[in-house]
Amino acid sequence: MSAGRPARLAVGVVSAGRVGSVIGAALAAAGHHVVATSGVSRASVQRAAALLPDVPLLPPDEVVAGAGLALLAVPDDVLPGLVRGLAAAGSFRPGQIVVHTSGAHGVAVLDPAVEHGVLPLALHPAMTFTGRVEDVQRLTSCCFGVTAPEPDEAAWSVGEALVVEMTAEPVRVPEAVRPLYHAALAHGANHLVTLVRDAADLLAKAGIEPAERLLGPLLSAALDNALRHGDRALTGPVARGDAGTVATHLRVLDAADPDVARTYRTLAGRTARRARAAGLLPEQAAADVLTTLREDS
With beta carbons less than 8 A apart as the criterion, state whether 261 and 254 touch.
Answer: yes
Q: Is residue 5 part of a domain?
A: no
Q: Is residue 2 part of a domain?
A: no
Q: Do 64 and 205 lie in a common domain?
A: no
- Report the pLDDT value the prediction gives residue 295, as an integer from 0 to 100: 77
Confidence of residue 141 (pLDDT cuts 50, 70, 90): confident
- Average pLDDT, rounded, for the chain: 95
Q: In this model, does residue 57 exceed pLDDT 50?
A: yes
Q: In this model, does residue 66 exceed pLDDT 50?
A: yes
Q: Is residue 3 part of a domain?
A: no
- Cα–Cα dist 213/5, whole Å: 45
pLDDT digits (tens, 9 = 90+) for 224-274: 999 999 999 999 999 999 999 999 999 999 999 999 999 999 999 999 999
Contacts of 51 (CB under 8 A, 6+ apart): 16, 21, 22, 24, 25, 131, 133, 136
| Interval 60-66 mean pLDDT | 97
Q: Please tell me which residue, 5 or 69, carries the higher pLDDT value.
A: 69
- Give me the phi and psi of 78, to 5 degrees please: -85, -30
Q: Do 84 and 118 lie in a common domain?
A: yes
Q: Which domain holds residue 267?
A: 181-295
Q: Is residue 163 part of a domain?
A: yes
Confidence of residue 297 (pLDDT cuts 50, 70, 90): low
Q: Is residue 4 part of a domain?
A: no
Q: In this model, does residue 174 exceed pLDDT 80?
A: yes
Confidence of residue 140 (pLDDT cuts 50, 70, 90): confident
Determine the angle formed by the axes of helices 243-256 and 258-277, rounding to 10 degrees.
160
Q: Do 106 and 124 lie in a common domain?
A: yes
| Interval 80-99 mean pLDDT | 98
Q: Is residue 1 part of a domain?
A: no
Q: Do 196 and 142 lie in a common domain?
A: no
Q: Do 116 and 246 lie in a common domain?
A: no
Q: Do 156 and 225 lie in a common domain?
A: no
